[in-house]
Amino acid sequence: MNILVAGGAGYIGSHTCVALLEAGHTVIVADNLCNSRTKALERVKQITNNEITFYQIDVTDEVAVNTVFGNHSIDGVIHFAGFKAVGESVSQPLAYYYNNVVSTMVLSKACQKYKVNRFIFSSSATVYGENTVPFVETMKLLPTSNPYGETKAMSERILTDIAKVNSDWLVALLRYFNPVGAHESGLIGEAPTGIPNNLMPYITQVAKGKLAKLRIFGSDYPTVDGTGVRDYIHVMDLAEGHVAALDKLTKGVHIYNLGTGHGISVLQLVRAFKEANGLDLPYELTDRRPGDISECYADVTKAERELGWTAKRDLVDMCRDAWRFEKNYEG
Ligand code: NAD
Ligand code: WQD
């Protein structure tokens, strides 16, 4: 299939381009490079020995998006393009609502116009808010404490309503848990600008000596060791989940959790990272981070059953691959 990957130069998008190309799909990337560089796409080509057509456009720009749809016979869209920093979404709500929601509307409008009926959307476990773990797709969504989460819930709603009047649409709302790691080549990975907000890139930067020590946010949660629990998933497993969704999707709107189904604490992740890479990692226990929940992990039975997809890589793979990328990364 010819797949338009919006936000394909980014962290999850670039890994998904690898998985798509390796599965024999053709990839067209639309990205404005606001949080990525074309180097990632060069690396994807190097890994797969394949070509990618690239458009440097903003996917909230309807004219530019229509040009891409007019130039190619597109079979499906995967929409990764969006802002993702939870804290920033609190201080810049308008930018988040605009970018994340308008991009969904412009891309789906083009799909309607050009009769493209496959749409895969990058949602987030954040939409579950303070539900009880494990999170199941049928749960009622709870308000999140930040505009970022609301943009994901709104986009899900918009796509669901559009699909109701387009009975031939096949829509997947993929709720990602905590993607970490990198392609095993070490050529592409997560390269946040500035000080990382997320745990794994913070850990790899401490290991590299770019940051002095990890601060573990909270040691009094009602968890196995008092630190927060998350469902970390290798980014290549996540990428392969998109290929499975493309292959197996049926008509209608389908929601899938993409996680491993296992909760791992911050201290367990730190220990795994040290052991996998034979490195020391200085850390201190500090106060909880505002807005954090205690535990977040998925029930993954629906994706296993309907997509035939399951995460294959373990915590050691995640830690080793994340470090291999960081070690070689030159900024
Ligand atoms: P990323 O920032 O690395 O990738 C997003 C890409 O979209 C970047 O290349 C950026 O330049 C591009 N982009 C943003 N706005 C755009 C626009 N208006 N037009 C064109 N390009 C635009 O982020 P990521 O981690 O790869 O996340 C991809 C998607 O998955 C996002 O929608 C994010 O909200 C969602 N998600 C991410 C995580 C995570 O922890 N990384 C978890 C759940 C959901
Ligand atoms: C993981 C754990 C922290 C940094 C966020 C978004 C979510 C999704 C994924 C996009 C928590 C602890 C972290 C640090 C720490 N993104 N931590 N020290 O918060 O689960 O999810 O990213 O959709 O929407 O909210 O991920 O990696 O920030 O934190 O102790 O320096 O690590 O408290 O327990 P989070 P995270």
Q: What is the pLDDT of residues 101-149, one digit of tens each?
A: 999 999 999 999 999 999 999 999 999 999 999 999 999 999 888 999 9
Asked whether residue 216 is assigned to any structural domain, the reply reads no
| pLDDT of residue 330 exceeding 90 | no
Residue 44 identity: V
* pLDDT of res. 132: 96
- Pocket residue to mutate for ligand 2, from 79, 190, 198, 205, most atoms within 8 A of Cβ: 198
Asked whether residue 16 is assigned to any structural domain, the reply reads yes
- Pocket residue to mutate for ligand 2, from 204, 213, 217, 227, most atoms within 8 A of Cβ: 217
Q: Which domain holds residue 68?
A: 2-182+231-260
Mean pLDDT of 71-97: 97
Nearest CA to ligand 1 atom 43: 124
* Spacing, Cα 163 to ligand 1 middle (Å): 23
Residue 144 near residue 126 (C-beta atoms within 8 A): yes
Asked whether residue 206 is assigned to any structural domain, the reply reads no
Asked whether residue 162 is assigned to any structural domain, the reply reads yes
Annotated active-site residue 148? The verdict is yes
d(CA 164, CA 96): 26
Mean pLDDT of 295-317: 98
DSSP secondary structure, 211-258, as one string: SS-EEEE-S-SSSSSSS-EE-EEEHHHHHHHHHHHHHH--SEEEEEEE
Asked whether residue 226 is assigned to any structural domain, the reply reads no
Give pLDDT tens digits for 182-217: 999 999 999 999 999 999 999 999 999 999 999 999
Check if the interface score ipTM surpasses 0.90.
yes
* pLDDT of res. 145: 86
Tokens 């990272």 belong to 273
* pLDDT of res. 23: 98
* pLDDT of res. 331: 76
- Considering 11, 148, 176, 297, which one is annotated as catalytic? 148
Provide the token pair at 163. 């699909």
Residue 231 near residue 260 (C-beta atoms within 8 A): yes
Q: Sheet holding 26-30: strands in order across? A: 53-55, 26-30, 2-6, 76-79, 118-124, 170-176, 252-258
Asked whether residue 71 is assigned to any structural domain, the reply reads yes
Closest ligand to residue 121's CA: 1
Asked whether residue 25 is assigned to any structural domain, the reply reads yes
Domain count, the chain: 1
Q: 7: alpha, beta or left, given left = phi > 0 and alpha = psi -120 to 50?
A: left
Determine how many CB atoms are found less than 10 A away from the CB of residue 305. Answer: 9
d(CA 262, CA 283): 24
Provide the token pair at 34. 């606001």
Atom of ligand 2 nearest to the CA of 84: 10
Q: Is the peptide bond before 201 cis (omega within 30 degrees of 0)?
A: no
| pLDDT of residue 161 exceeding 80 | yes
The DSSP H or E segment spanning 66 is helix 62-71
Please give the mean pLDDT across all residues of the chain: 97
* Spacing, Cα 217 to ligand 2 middle (Å): 9
* Spacing, Cα 138 to ligand 1 middle (Å): 25
CATH number of 68's domain: 3.40.50.720
Atom of ligand 2 nearest to the CA of 230: 20
* Spacing, Cα 39 to ligand 1 middle (Å): 16
Atom of ligand 2 nearest to the CA of 266: 32
Asked whether residue 302 is assigned to any structural domain, the reply reads no
